[in-house]
Structure formats: structure tokens, C-alpha cells
Structure 1
Amino acid sequence: MTGKSFQRVLHCLLAVMLVVTAACARRDLGTTAAPEPRLPKDPAVVEGVLDNGMTYLVMRNTEPKDRVSMHLAVKSGSMVETEAQRGVAHFLEHMLFNGSEHFPPGELIKYFQRIGMRFGGDANAHTGFYETVYDVVLPAGDTKSLAEGLLVMHDYAGGALLLETEVDRERGVILAEKRDRDSESYRSFVKNLAFALPGMRINDRHPIGLESVIKGADSALLRSYYDTWYRPDNMAVVVAGDVDPVEVAGLIRDRFSSLEARAPKGKLPDEGSFAHAGTKAFYAYNPEAGSTTVTLQVLHHVARQPDSFAVRREQMLFDMASRILDNRLEERIGKPGTPFTSAGAGAGTYLRHVRYGIVAADCDAENWEESLAVIDHTLRSALAFGFAPDEVARVKKEMKNALLQAEEKASTRDSRALASLLIQSYTTEKVVVSPGDARRLFEPVVDAVTADELHRVLKEVWNPSHRLVMVEGNLRLDAGDKGPEAVLLAAYKKSGLVAATPPPAKSAAAFPYLPAPETPGKVVSRVDHDDLGITVVTFDNGLVLNLKQTDFKAREVLYSLRFGQGVKGARGLAPGLASISEMVTNESGLGRLNRDETARAMAGTNTSFYYGAGQDGFGLSGRTIPGELELMFQVLFTQLTDTRLKEDAYHLSTQRYTQGLEEMDRTVDGVLQKQVEAFLTGDKARFGYPGVSLEGIDLEAVNGFVMPDLQGAPLELSVVGDMDVEEVISLCGRWLGSLPRKATQPARDHDLAFPGGKRLDLSVESSIDKAVVTVAWPTTGMGDIHTVRRLSILGSLFSERLRETVRENLGAAYSPKAWNRSSRAYPEYGTLRAVITVSPEQVDEVIAAVKEIADGLRGAPATEDELRRVVDPVVNRIIDYRRTNGYWLNSVMQDSSRYPEKLVWPRDILEDYAAVTAAELQALAQAYLKVPEAAVLTVRPVPSS
């Protein structure tokens, strides 16, 4: 419920476009003495083109270990559809999972599961405006696995069956997906896009398509698109992972060289153009929104330019200038008199042809006009007076640090991320440049840029004579005969009558500002768990330090400092107090520094920090790099000894929280989120949400919730990653080892009351025709890990049967899911729940289907094939997860002084999961999935009164 919701506008196209191109129109950079540098191709990428035009890009990478990220990228999406095909590109994407030359209908997903991969997680696809991409993660890079994966890709490329019976069956799934995606926010976005880009083809080619086309599509229509655009010269095979690139290239040649085009090459349609002039206004009321977004924007059509150093240099300068403007808006947030709760700025090019500049802010509806004036004045001030040296120095430091970190972390990049980079390079015709070469090329650009040049760049971005004034959200603008647009234009004109002024000078902000304690703490015990690679050190003030050095991610260090009893131990707790306390603490900055001063003091560093309030403890967590370990301890020391919760942070946090509450009340998913945990636990104080009045949540209550444990409770610090263990022990002793802490009383037990056999039917005023269903059963807490692991597999089995029954057979839902959640804070409490978004007319039918699945799980054991198809993907996921710092921090070390069993769990986790039997799952289903004990919660839309 925090964060910048204005980014929904700034990056709104991401809602329907999964890949945004970064090509830019090149401007005249003037005559230079040296020729423009060439963008060097990353030598680690092995690429080629077969005689039939098929492209391949292969890159060796060893994280995750043994895994291979394999993809088929088709350089066409919804933009090339004819009027009769609107939605066919996406429909076809679905159909390629439903029968092909080597995989009969229903077998491909089972194949993925049998090799230990999850459908949806490891095997998936997406359709965008300009591309369609198919993904599979292979569990190994041996020749057999690679050959099988390439067989799947070959079937995608040319072996689709497109059987009429399968088209009819999949139609319901696609309509369910269309319903899932529908919302007032999406509808507002569509209107926004039509206003912003008039005359552009994109407005008539949203990937989800038209319902009439989906309902009427047949095999012939799908085949016409498939044969036209799925041609060898319009596709690429992309592979990144633990492989020999030369071997992979040979296997691709063997598999794809015989692939032929099945139809003449399609003609690329005219994408359209637009030209704004003057000042225009756009207004959209969105009843789902909890706030109003005010935007000033310039947009103009540009010719597409090939990738080059000049294009990338230009975008870098756009980013730097916009970031300074963004910082100015950020600095105002939370200060007295600021009318908005979040704001930002950006500039660049999207959709290949659209150059944009944008400033935007989120605010309460009644503050829209004042917010418009502030972002307008901020923009005009920058355009008139340029940037100060300290602003430029800050953004230079940040940009150079980003280039450095990308280079230093390159050796342990994730194969999926690399594959995405290769796919984008193919579909957008961009060069893959190594992080080292990128730093060599662009660090001098950052060093050389001046305040005058960034000022010139900003003026160039905002040079177009037009302005788009846009207001969207929960503002009901009743303008009478004038119309809302006239009101917006009048407000903008009024703002323009106030002359721009230079921004006020900022005082210096320095951190750290506290000296280290005079006497370091002493180590009283040290235990090395050699089989886990974990060291546990205890200091004489009771501080426990858990350490694990890893090489999973170069230059990544994660930490978590835990203390206190958390939400469970709080007395007189008001609903929402914990969440608002988190927000206030995080918005208060570091001690005597406010949020803006903290941001300036920490600019260019890599150390982050976050205060969290969990059910069984509080925490300060974040990440750093090896060279900033002392900075991490200085942050923790300051938070523990000098935290000051600030009045401005409280007002900002409650304003944002209230906006979030109002937004939750306006959609079925939001109402579910707001009600479900309180319903399933019977404890509104700890799991519920307050009313918009936030009764019982003032700054005094926040201080009473946060400060006692933050400044007094015993500490446990866990640190994992690319670090020197002895250095961390020494720094910990110096900064934290002598802090006085006092023992706290154990948290009182709270019995959570699962509403067995009860049903709660809720409603929300909405014109969106979708409902959400939750069916849950009580299970158990984390006390018996052997049982909890099997409940996790039972949840996966339940989810698989939901997919087969509710999605595939009934066509009632796009993405039904089930899972078990066992509590650590409440050792007797857990739930296994199914959550499904459906048509309101199908609510009861789906509830009955869910209960029937539960009966089936109780009545007979799963087959061995079904068991392996749910267990093996879980085992592979755990293997990968164990090679992450996050696993060792969160699942093993964190809170292990309170829960010592956490240091035992890693020792048998893989063997225990692999040993799960069908009989065990049936026994658990019989024990827990008793239909009369199920609790049901539904949320349906009702017409506005």
C-alpha cells in the first residue's frame, strides 16, 4: 500500500505490453573530433542465422546451476493482426500448448512437469504488441535435455495441430483470462492511450483482442496467422544457461534447418502517426482508484532509429535530467504543504515511435488542482533555471555506481534475465553489450556531462509546443455545461500565471553522524556448523550473529536484524497499527535526517534498509555490498539508538494508507485481500484492516508500538553473501556488540479461530463482471516440518487438479491456485486454500468443483505419474532456491536463535520432499480436507446504486 502509484501512468503501457522497446530518435549531437564509438557485441553471445533465415542466440551462464533458459521468440504480435484477427496472436499462443506434432493435446504440460518444471513458472509464454515469446526452463544442460527442449521449440515454430476441438475448449480459458484482466483501471488506461496516441494502430490492437473474435475464432483463422508470421526468418531460438554454446548451436542447426515457410511473408501494417498541438486536457473517472493522478506530458511521433552509441548516450542524458527533476519532486513528498503523496518524472521513447516527457503526481482527489500547480511549477523552474552542481553530482554518482555494479555482478547473473536480454536484442534489433563494455563506453559520458548540457536536454524533451494535461482517478469532476476538460485547462492556465522561481538551496546531508561505541562487544561463544557453512557467534550483550559466506551472487550481501515479539506480542493492538507503523518508520529517514536528507546522504551507495513488523518479531533488513559492510552497521546502529518517528512521516503514511484502503474497497480482489485473513483467523486486530478513520492510530500509538522493542529488545543479526566472515564479526562487535539490551517477556499465546463450515459472502459496487472465490481448510502450524512439507505438496496437487478441472474442463478460470500456508508464530494454525477468479454466475459451480476435488483427494491416492509431476518441480525449485542468499537468510538463519530447528531443516529438505508418497497425501487429505469444515469466502460485484 506504499510506493509510487504514479508509476502506473509513467509506465502505463507495461500493463498490456510485456516488452517496451528502448529505441530512440537520434538528435544532432554536433560535430566532434572523435568518431562515434561502435557498440561492441558481447563476445560471450554465440549467434548465427541458418540458411532458412532462422536466428539463434546462445550464451553460457552458470546461475542457476545446471539450469537452461530456452525460448522461441517470434517477431510479431498483435500489431500485425488484421481486423478479423484481433486477439488471434494471443489465442494462438494458448493453442501451442494444446497439441503439436510430437505432443498430443494435454501432454505438453505434463511433459514439462515430468522433467521437473512447473507450468506457469518454468514453462510459459506471452504475447505483446510486437512479439510473442515461448519459454521453458530445462532442469539440465545435457544433450538429451537440450534436444527435447529444442523439439518443443520446433513444435511451437512449425508443428501446431490447431485441432478444432481444442480451439473450442481453449476459448473459455481465454475468455476467463480476458475477464481476469478487465478492470476499471484497464479501461481507463485504454481511454488514456487513445487520447495520448490518436491515429496510432496500437489503439485497435490490444493483445487480449475482441470478445467477438475470440468467440468466433476457428482453426482456419488461427492457421492463417500462424503460417504467415511463424516463419523461420521471423523467429529466433534463444538459449542461456549451463551449456556449451557450440554444442547448442549445432543442435539448433540439426533441428531447425529443415523448417520451411508455410505461407508468403506478411506485410507489416502502417503503425499510424499523430501530432499534438496546443494544450489538451484528458479526464477519466476511475471508481476503483483510491487516489487521483495528475499528469503533464509531451508526446510526439519520431522515426525509428537503429541502435547506436549516440542513441544510448541520448537516453542516458534523458534519464539523468529526468532523475534530477524526479529528485526535486521526491524532496517535497511528506513536507508540510505538499499536496501529493508521490510524484515523479521521466523521459524517453516507447512503442518504437513515441518520444515522451512526463511529470506526474498522486494525490487525494480534493488536492488535484494544487498538485497540478506544484508539478507545473517544478517543471517550469527546471526549464527556466536549470540544475545546481550538487544535483548533477548526485545523479552522476548514482549513474556511475549503476554501471560499476552491473559490471562487478555480471559473473553471477541469472540465466532468465540474460535470456530476456537476448530476446529483447532480437525483437528490438538492439546490440547486446557486456556490462564491462557498457561501463567503458558510458562512464566517460557521465563524467563529461555538465549541468548546462542536462539543462539543454531537458529543454529539448519539453520543447514541443503542446502540453497534455491529464487527471485520472477517484476525482468526480462535476463541471456542469463546461465539461471537465475545460476545468482542467482553466486550472493549468491559472498555474501558468505564477512565475517560475529557482528551487531553494538545500542544506548538506551527511551520514554517518554517530561515533562508534567506545568499547566493542566481546565474543562469548562461537559455533561453526560446518555442514551448513554457517557460523553462530554470541556477544556478551546477548546479541546473536549468524553468518554464511556464499558465492551465489557476486557482491551481494543480505542482512536481517530481528528483535522483539512482533504483532503477536503487542497489547491493545488496533487494526492497521502494525502496517502504518512500518510506513512511518520507513518514511522517517535515519535518525536526525529526514527522508530527503537520508536519500541525499545515501546517494550512490548500495546499502538499503527496511523496518518490518511481523507476527512474531520486528526486523531491520536490507542489502549491501562487501565494500559497504561498515556502512550497513552504521545504519543499524543509528536505527537502534537514534530513530526518531517524525510527524511529517506519520501524516504522509496515514494519507497513503487511507488511499490504499479506499482502493481496496472498490474491487473484488481488494475486498478479498482486506477481509480474508481476519475471516480465516477470527482475529481482526492482528489480521484485519481499520476503517478510513484509523481509530486508535495516532503518532503516540505508533511510537508505543515501535520504540520499546527497537531500542531495548535482544538482537539477532543474520548476514549472508559475498563477504569476509571475520570482518563482519569484528564490525558487529564494534558497532552492536556492546549495546545494552534487556530481556523481554514471551509473547502471549493467541488462539486463532478458523471459521470451519462458515461462509462469508461479500459484495462490491462494480461494473466489472467478475467474482473471486476462496475455499479454505484448517491445517497446522510449523511445529512438525515433516507434515508441513507434505501439506505443501498436497497444495500443489490440489492446484494441479484445479488447473485440470476448473481451467481446462470447465473453462471457468484462467489461473486457479491452491496452496498451504502454515504459521510459525501460531504453531497450531495453518490453512490450505484455493483462490479462483470466476464469472459471478459460476461462483457456486466452482465452489462445488473445489469441494469435489477435495473429496477426490480424500477418496483415492494420486497416481505415481501425478505424484511425480507435482513433487519433482518442487524439488527442482528447492534446489535452485538453496543456491540463493535469500533462502539461507530467511528460511534458515533468521530467527534461528528462537527457533533452533531452522538449522536442522536444510539437512534433509531435499530427501524429505523427494520421499513424499501418494498414501501420505491421501492421509493428510482425509485428516484436513473434510468438506463440512471448509470455510468459504466470496466477493461479487453488484451494480452501483
Structure 2
Amino acid sequence: QPRPDTLAWETKQLRDYIAASIMNNRLKQLVCRPASPLTGAGFYSGIFLQRVGYAILSAKTRAGSWRQGFQLLNYTLRQALELGFSDQELARAKKELRAALKKQVETKAGRNSGQLASQIVGKLNSNEVILSPEQELAIYGPLLEKMTPAEVNGAFRSAWHHDNRLLQVAGTVEIKDSAKTPEEVIRSLFKHSAATALKPWTGEAQVAFPYLPVSSAPARIVKREKLAGIGALRVVFADGTILNIKKTSFKPNEVLISVHFGNGRLGEPSPGLGILAESVVRQSGFGRLTRDELDEALAGHNVKVAFRAGSASFALNGRGLSSEFELILQLMQTQLLDPAFRPEAYRLSMARFGQMYKQMRGSVDGMMGLQGERFLAGGNPFYGMPPQKQFMGLKLEQVRHWLAPVFRGAPLEISVVGDIDPGRVIELTGRYLGTLHRSLVVRQPEQSLTFPAGKVLERRVATKINKALVVVAWPTADFWDISRTRRLNVLASVFTDRLRREIREKMGATYSPVVYNNSSRIARGYGVMRAMLTVAPQRARAIAQKVKDVGAGLARKGLGPAELQRAVKPILTSIKDIMRTNRYWLESVLVLSSRHPEQLRWPLSIRRDFASITAPEISALAARYLEKSAAAEIIFQPAVKKKKERPAVSNPARRKR
């Protein structure tokens, strides 16, 4: 039955939350261990509709390892139920939740109104009291301090204290045993695991971070300039490192930092190596610390740093509280100077990519990534995902050979945005990243792509979901004429509205057609405007033709002022919101602005330029780019099922005639 939201009830909920946190920390460690059969795992519990309690422990494995994964999952559950959680595990979970509660207090003034409204509705639906961040910290903080391992163990055991337990194995694996049914095989594995003697959980040892030395002398500055009109500052250190800074008040106590270097996937030696490298680096931790040891060392902090292999550069992207800015720099310094490329991270990545390929092959949307993107890039093998056999042949040594020199020597461009003290940012960034004397020469290779104008790609997909994906695309232009790119985006919005009226409202053939323009930042002269629709398979060809007809009508007749305003007004509203975000100033303006200085002028014109767009301008673009003969067409739809032939049955009566 629904319960009143009392302090006793909140205490129980808090214990359940901490127990789940500890269990999930264990599962993360199991997934990352060498030779682990698991590729992902999680525990969650709750109350459905305020009446039905549940607890679920689940994991993903490769098809050939499901037995080991099933047994390991059950063994780990028994370990927690019978031997309990340790003081060290409880201390880590407390640190993590306490840090999250404090972050809520420090960043409350910058909360997203939509997310806040959703949280309020969730509280009301759950019959819970709506609390401010300060109230949550005041209530839960003391409860956390007093919480004991016995209380947390009791909460976890209570969640599993039921007579019935569902054992489920789902997926593409076939459970074959000549003497047993699949159910009997699963029960047998469960009984075998239940009879295995338990050993106490052995977690990660406590480790120290940071461990690298830092320069005691400040970095020498050779250039300092104000970036006119946008309230930003650029500093160049003597070793060539560039630092871009913008102080904002959009989100109190938030700081974003991005370190870019090298040429990213533009210099990829083999197709797919970039996405593999990104996963391996993220799972490897550092030279002296595994990923799990690093997570343990960072318990109680709110920082996040992630490596990314971008289309034109590599990047370390960090986010945290302003008070933790130095810790973010320590993480980035360690990633650059002491990177790791661990075999277990490679194994886990490859297992997950193997599962991803299987999912992509079984859906029309997945086939777009496997074949459609490469088709639209004229067959360039570096677009979309490479064939699975080719990808699975990539080796860990290829990742290390490609990335190690870049981590060690590529010049850095650093951008920092948020609630910061610019002087402190300059001093700390200089000490950690401005005295490394990086001299690797990074060349920016030219890339040329050919759009498949007038061509058609049609494939059948082995899927049971009865839907087709229709993509009709036109060649446009590259990104760097920003005025043109903005107008192409408006044209895409107008085109989307046309398709909504013609195909959704009049024909009832799809729910949400979408058109968007993707102008390339790296391939000169290349861009693609694509219309994407999910439709019934039997209507796919007709819908593709209708999309081309609508595009041709827009090219031939253009549009009027009313239709233009329907597209532009929402954009102008969104500009006001987006320009008050740290992410916009970091990602759209400052990042790599030394390579592309025109970015620094874009914020000065964005509102005025969009407001000045006219219907004749968009009509001219439609006439230029939406010619029916230039369109490329992609249709992915389910494979036709072969009907089983019934054996012929002779009719004795006919023979007698």
C-alpha cells in the first residue's frame, strides 16, 4: 500500500540507495576484470505503482559466455547476501552521495527548469515531499553519517527476502542439451552456483591520486589578448600552449574545460580505429591506476573527464565544480603524460562492439550506420562503421602506436568556460599543462568526398520489426560560410514542416518526418541535407518518391513569408536560451578557435543574421540544392520471409475419378 513520506520511510529509501550503489560498484569492477564473461551489469530496485516492490540483478555477456556470466552473477549476489558489504565500500558510497548532495546545493541557481519540473512531477506521483537541495543535504547528511554496514546489509537482504525468484536468460543464444530442456539447463547452473563455496569480496586497494609532479614555477606567458566583443581572453604560453577563457554566470559553481590536440579521426590509419581507441582509453584508466582504482580515488568528487576522438582533433573534455578545477587539470595532465592501453579494456571494448554490430545488423536504423553513411560519403571507408570482420581485426597495438605519440607531443589548445577566476585559471593551467614543451608537428590533411547524386541504395534487413527506413538526401555545402549554413538549417526546418503536412497529416504514412542539414567541417565543399522517415515497408518506395516531389516543389515554387516565420521564430527563441549556456560558448565559439578564428565572430551576428533571413533567400537555396536529379535514395526494410512449403497431399477421391 502507498506509505506516508515520513523520516523513517526516507531512512529506509536511503539505505536501499546506498546498498544499490555498493552493489553497482562491485558489478563495474567485475565487468572490467581480465577475462570477465560480463560486458555490462547493473542492480536496481524500487516500488512499482507504490505497491509492488522489485529487485533486479542483470548482466550482458557474449553469447558463448552466458553460462559463466550467469553463474558469476548469482555468485556475486550470494556473496553480498551472505557475507555482506565492507566498511570501505560503505565509506565510498557515502562519499559519492555526499558529494552529489553538496553539488546540488552549490549549483541550485542554475538548474534546468524542465528537469526541475520533471522532478516535482515525479515526487508528486510517488507521494513524496518536495525538498530543496539544502533540505535534502540537511536531512540525508546526518543519516549518512550514522549509517552502518549492518543497516545497509539488512536493507539489501530485505530486497531479496522473497519466496520466489525469476531466473531469465534472453538473447540470440540457443540453449542446447540433448538430455535437458533450456529451463532444466538454467536450473542446473543455478543449483551448481548455489553450492559453490563463497569467498569474501576482494575490491580495489586504496590508491593515491594525483601522483605526477607539477611545475613549481608559473608558466611563462608570451601573449595575452582580449577577444573583442565576446568577453573572452586568450593566453599563449612560451611552450606554444593556447588557453582560451570565458567567465560566465549562467551556472553558478560550474566549470567546463576542453583540451584539444592532434587531428583526431582525420588522421585515422584504419577505418574504425578512432571509435575503438576512444573506448579503450576510457576503460583503461592511467598507467599507475586501473579504471576501477581511479573511480575509487575520485569517490567524493564531482569531476568528469572523458577522452574523445573527434572528426578533426582529439579532446579531453572535463566538467566539475569550480572548486575542483585543479583536480580536473590533474586528471588531464595524467591522461596526457601517463596514458594506459590495457588488454582488458581492449577485450571489453571488442566484446561490446561485437554486441553492437549484432544489434545494428538486426535493425533498419542500425543499417544506416553500417552502410548508409558510407554510401552518402561516396563509399569513403572512414564514414559510418566499417564491416564487422574488418573492425574486429583491429589490434590493441594499433591503438597504442597511433595515440601514444600524440598524447606525448601534440600541441594543446585549452578552452575554459564557467564560473571561474580567470587569474587562477591561467596560473593553474600554466603549471599543469603550459610547461610540457610539446613539439609534435600535426598536419591537417585535406579530405574530399563525392556525393552519390542520383544513386539508390536498397537493402533487406534481417529484422522482425515491420518498419522501413527511408532516407532521401541532397548534396549541399561545407560548414565554413556560416551565413549559408544558417540558411541551410532554416531550409531544413521548412522542408520538415512541408513533409509533416504532406506525408504525416495528408497521407498518415509516418509520425515524425525530419530533415536536417549536416555541413562538413573537414571535407571542403561537402554537405548533406537528408530527410529521414520511418514508414510501413510496403509504402517505402512511394514515400521516397513523395519526398523527392515535395523537395522539387519547394525548389520550383519556393516559399512565402508566413512559412519562413514558422521556421525562424522557434530558432530565434532557442538562440536566446542556447547563448546562456556554458556549452555553447565552449563548443561553438572557443574550441579550436586558433585554427578557425572566424568562430569568434559568430556570436556577434547569430541573432541579427537569423532575424534578417528572407523568403527569397531560402527559395534560392531550395532551387539550388533540392533538384530531384541530385537526390540520393536509401531504403532499408525487413527481409521477405520465405513461406514454408507444405507437402503435397494427394486426394484419394480425385484418383478414383
The verdict on a shared fold, with TM-score over 0.5 as the criterion, is yes
Residue type of the alignment partner of 1:618: F
Q: What corresponds to 1:232 in structure 2?
A: none
Q: What corresponds to 2:645 in structure 1?
A: none
Contact 1:854–1:929, Cα closer than 8 Å, also in 2? yes
Question: In 1, Cα distance between the equivalents of 2:215 and 2:47?
Answer: 51
Question: In 2, Cα distance between the equivalents of 1:381 and 1:767?
Answer: 39
Question: In 1, Cα distance between the equivalents of 2:89 and 2:247?
Answer: 37
Residue 626, structure 1, aligned to residue 322, structure 2? yes
Q: What corresponds to 2:584 in structure 1?
A: 887
Q: What corresponds to 2:68 in structure 1?
A: 370
Contact 2:504–2:510, Cα closer than 8 Å, also in 1? yes
* Shift of residue 504, structure 1, vs aligned partner: 2.1
* Shift of residue 672, structure 1, vs aligned partner: 1.4
Question: In 2, Cα distance between the equivalents of 1:736 and 1:366?
Answer: 45
Question: In structure 2, which of residues 244, 254, 257 is the aligned counterpart of residue 556 of structure 1?
Answer: 254
Residue 733, structure 1, aligned to residue 439, structure 2? no
Residue type of the alignment partner of 2:2: R
Residue type of the alignment partner of 1:644: A
Alignment of 1:788-799 (within 5 A): 788-799=485-496
Deviation track 1:311-341 (CA, whole Å, cap 9, x = no partner) reads 2221111110111111111112232231111
* Shift of residue 422, structure 1, vs aligned partner: 2.9
The structure-2 alpha-carbon separation of the partners of 1:696 and 1:479, relative to structure 1 and needing over 3 Å to count, comes to: closer
Question: In 2, Cα distance between the equivalents of 1:898 and 1:802?
Answer: 38
* Ranges in structure 2 where 5+ consecutive residues have no aligned partner: 643-657
Residue 501, structure 1, aligned to residue 206, structure 2? no
Contact 2:39–2:348, Cα closer than 8 Å, also in 1? yes
Alignment of 1:681-720 (within 5 A): 681-693=377-389, 694=391, 696-720=393-417
Contact 2:446–2:522, Cα closer than 8 Å, also in 1? no
The structure-2 alpha-carbon separation of the partners of 1:750 and 1:520, relative to structure 1 and needing over 3 Å to count, comes to: same
Alignment of 1:583-598 (within 5 A): 583-598=279-294
* Shift of residue 741, structure 1, vs aligned partner: 0.8
Residue 646, structure 1, aligned to residue 337, structure 2? no
The structure-2 alpha-carbon separation of the partners of 1:426 and 1:349, relative to structure 1 and needing over 3 Å to count, comes to: closer
Residue 844, structure 1, aligned to residue 541, structure 2? yes
* Shift of residue 481, structure 1, vs aligned partner: 7.6
Residue 414, structure 1, aligned to residue 112, structure 2? yes
Report how many residues are paired. Answer: 641
* Shift of residue 873, structure 1, vs aligned partner: 0.2
Residue 536, structure 1, aligned to residue 234, structure 2? yes
Alignment of 1:26-425 (within 5 A): 303-425=1-123
Residue 520, structure 1, aligned to residue 195, structure 2? no
Contact 2:204–2:292, Cα closer than 8 Å, also in 1? no
Question: In 2, Cα distance between the equivalents of 1:359 and 1:815?
Answer: 36
* Shift of residue 712, structure 1, vs aligned partner: 1.0
Q: What corresponds to 1:835 in structure 2?
A: 532
Residue type of the alignment partner of 2:570: P
* Shift of residue 743, structure 1, vs aligned partner: 4.4
* Shift of residue 444, structure 1, vs aligned partner: 0.6
TM-score using structure 1 length: 0.67
Question: In 1, Cα distance between the equivalents of 2:338 and 2:641?
Answer: 50
Residue type of the alignment partner of 1:657: F
Query: What secondary structure does 1:687 align onto?
Result: coil
Deviation track 1:83-113 (CA, whole Å, cap 9, x = no partner) reads xxxxxxxxxxxxxxxxxxxxxxxxxxxxxxx
Deviation track 1:543-598 (CA, whole Å, cap 9, x = no partner) reads 1101111111122111110011111123xx32211100100010001231111111
Question: In 1, Cα distance between the equivalents of 2:560 and 2:179?
Answer: 69
* Shift of residue 600, structure 1, vs aligned partner: 0.5
Question: In 1, Cα distance between the equivalents of 2:340 and 2:405?
Answer: 13
Alignment of 1:659-670 (within 5 A): 659-670=355-366
Query: What secondary structure does 2:351 align onto?
Result: helix
Q: What corresponds to 2:609 in structure 1?
A: 912
The structure-2 alpha-carbon separation of the partners of 1:428 and 1:393, relative to structure 1 and needing over 3 Å to count, comes to: closer
Residue type of the alignment partner of 1:348: G
Q: What corresponds to 2:647 in structure 1?
A: none
Question: In 1, Cα distance between the equivalents of 2:197 and 2:44?
Answer: 23
Contact 2:204–2:293, Cα closer than 8 Å, also in 1? no
Contact 2:447–2:522, Cα closer than 8 Å, also in 1? no
Residue 472, structure 1, aligned to residue 170, structure 2? yes
Residue type of the alignment partner of 1:665: R
Question: In 1, Cα distance between the equivalents of 2:438 and 2:579?
Answer: 33
The structure-2 alpha-carbon separation of the partners of 1:745 and 1:326, relative to structure 1 and needing over 3 Å to count, comes to: closer
* Shift of residue 387, structure 1, vs aligned partner: 1.5
Question: In 2, Cα distance between the equivalents of 1:355 and 1:872?
Answer: 47
* Shift of residue 517, structure 1, vs aligned partner: 2.9
Question: In 2, Cα distance between the equivalents of 1:459 and 1:618?
Answer: 46
Larger CA deviation: 884-893 vs 339-348: 339-348
Query: What secondary structure does 1:471 align onto?
Result: coil
Q: What corresponds to 1:197 in structure 2?
A: none
* Shift of residue 941, structure 1, vs aligned partner: 0.1
Question: In 1, Cα distance between the equivalents of 2:104 and 2:618?
Answer: 45
Question: In 2, Cα distance between the equivalents of 1:801 and 1:916?
Answer: 19
Contact 1:578–1:705, Cα closer than 8 Å, also in 2? no
Contact 1:663–1:670, Cα closer than 8 Å, also in 2? yes
Deviation track 1:703-734 (CA, whole Å, cap 9, x = no partner) reads 12222222111100011111111111000111
Contact 1:766–1:943, Cα closer than 8 Å, also in 2? no
Contact 2:350–2:392, Cα closer than 8 Å, also in 1? no
Larger CA deviation: 657-666 vs 346-355: 346-355
Q: What corresponds to 2:595 in structure 1?
A: 898
Q: What corresponds to 1:436 in structure 2?
A: 134
Query: What secondary structure does 2:394 align onto?
Result: coil
Alignment of 1:589-608 (within 5 A): 589-608=285-304
Question: In 2, Cα distance between the equivalents of 1:865 and 1:523?
Answer: 54
Residue type of the alignment partner of 1:503: W
* Shift of residue 351, structure 1, vs aligned partner: 2.7
Deviation track 1:683-715 (CA, whole Å, cap 9, x = no partner) reads 543213233333551011111222222211110
* Ranges in structure 1 where 5+ consecutive residues have no aligned partner: 1-302
Question: In structure 2, which of residues 550, 559, 573 is the aligned counterpart of residue 876 of structure 1?
Answer: 573
* Shift of residue 519, structure 1, vs aligned partner: 4.2
Contact 1:520–1:735, Cα closer than 8 Å, also in 2? no
Residue 764, structure 1, aligned to residue 461, structure 2? yes
Query: What secondary structure does 2:47 align onto?
Result: strand
Query: What secondary structure does 1:773 align onto?
Result: strand
Query: What secondary structure does 2:32 align onto?
Result: coil
Residue type of the alignment partner of 1:497: A
Q: What corresponds to 1:488 in structure 2?
A: 186
Query: What secondary structure does 1:333 align onto?
Result: helix
Contact 2:558–2:623, Cα closer than 8 Å, also in 1? no
Query: What secondary structure does 1:825 align onto?
Result: coil
Deviation track 1:104-129 (CA, whole Å, cap 9, x = no partner) reads xxxxxxxxxxxxxxxxxxxxxxxxxx
Contact 1:315–1:348, Cα closer than 8 Å, also in 2? no
Question: In structure 2, which of residues 368, 372, 376 is the aligned counterpart of residue 680 of structure 1?
Answer: 376
* Shift of residue 944, structure 1, vs aligned partner: 5.1
Question: In 1, Cα distance between the equivalents of 2:375 and 2:479?
Answer: 21
Q: What corresponds to 1:927 in structure 2?
A: 624
Question: In 2, Cα distance between the equivalents of 1:901 and 1:506?
Answer: 48
Larger CA deviation: 681-690 vs 549-558: 681-690
